[in-house]
Homo-oligomer: A and B are copies of this chain.
Amino acid sequence: MTQPSVGTVQSKSFTFAHPPTPMVLDSGVELGPVSLAYETYGTLNAERSNAVLVCHALTGDAHVAGYHAGDDKPGWWEHYVGPGKPIDTDRYFVVCSNVIGSCMGSCGPSSINPATGRYWGLDFPLVTIPDMVRAQRELLRHLGIDHLLAVTGGSLGGMQTLQWAAAYPEMMDGILALATTSRHSPQAIAFNEVARQSIMSDPNWKNGDYYDGVRPDLGLAVARMIGHITYLSDESMHVKFGRELRKGSFAFNFEGDFQVESYLHHQGKKFVERFDANAFLYVTKAADYFDLDLANPDSPARRALAATPARFQLVSFTSDWLYPTYQSRQVVDVLKALGKDVSFCEITAPWGHDAFLLPDERLETVVRGFLGGLHGC
Contact B285 A193, beta carbon cutoff 8 Å: no
Does A288 interact with chain B (Cβ within 8 Å)?
Answer: yes
Given B191, B237, B240, B289, which contacts A250 in the complex, CB threshold below 8 Å? B289
Q: Which of A6-14, A67-75, A197-205 contacts B (4 or more CB under 8 A)?
A: A197-205
A27 to chain B, nearest CB (A): 4
Given B122, B198, B257, B288, which contacts A288 in the complex, CB threshold below 8 Å? B257
Q: Which chain A residues in 151-189 approach chain B with CB under 8 Å?
A: 183-187, 189
Contact B226 A194, beta carbon cutoff 8 Å: yes
Number of this chain's copies in the complex:
2
Q: Which chain A residues in 261-291 approach chain B with CB under 8 Å?
A: 261, 264-265, 268, 281, 285, 288-289, 291
Q: Which chain A residues in 284-329 approach chain B with CB under 8 Å?
A: 285, 288-289, 291, 321, 324
Contact A201 B222, beta carbon cutoff 8 Å: yes
A218 to B, closest residue via Cβ: B201
List the B side residues contacting A186 at CB < 8 Å: 237-238, 240-243, 258, 260
Contact B264 A190, beta carbon cutoff 8 Å: yes
Given contact pairs A254-B281, A257-B288, A264-B193, A198 touches B185 in the complex (Cβ within 8 A)? no
Q: How does the 8 Å CB contact mask read for A195-229 relative to B, with 1 for contact and 0 for none?
A: 01110111100000000000000110110011011
Contact B225 A194, beta carbon cutoff 8 Å: yes
Interface size on A, residues (CB 8 A): 58
List the B side residues contacting A237 at CB < 8 Å: 185-187, 190
Given B126, B222, B254, B256, which contacts A253 in the complex, CB threshold below 8 Å? B126
Contact A198 B198, beta carbon cutoff 8 Å: yes
Given contact pairs A225-B197, A226-B194, A243 touches B187 in the complex (Cβ within 8 A)? no
Q: How does the 8 Å CB contact mask read for A3-37 relative to B, with 1 for contact and 0 for none?
A: 00000000000000000000000010100000000
Does A234 interact with chain B (Cβ within 8 Å)?
Answer: yes
A332 to chain B, nearest CB (A): 19
Contact A238 B194, beta carbon cutoff 8 Å: no
User: 15 A–B contact pairs at CB < 8 A?
Assistant: A29-B252, A122-B254, A186-B240, A187-B234, A190-B228, A190-B237, A190-B264, A193-B258, A193-B260, A197-B221, A197-B265, A198-B201, A201-B218, A243-B291, A250-B289
- Which residues of A line the B interface, CB within 8 A? 27, 29, 122, 125-126, 183-187, 189-191, 193-194, 196-198, 200-203, 218-219, 221-222, 225-226, 228-229, 232-234, 237-238, 240-243, 250, 252-254, 256-258, 260-261, 264-265, 268, 281, 285, 288-289, 291, 321, 324
Closest 3 CB pairs of A and B: A201-B218, A186-B237, A27-B252
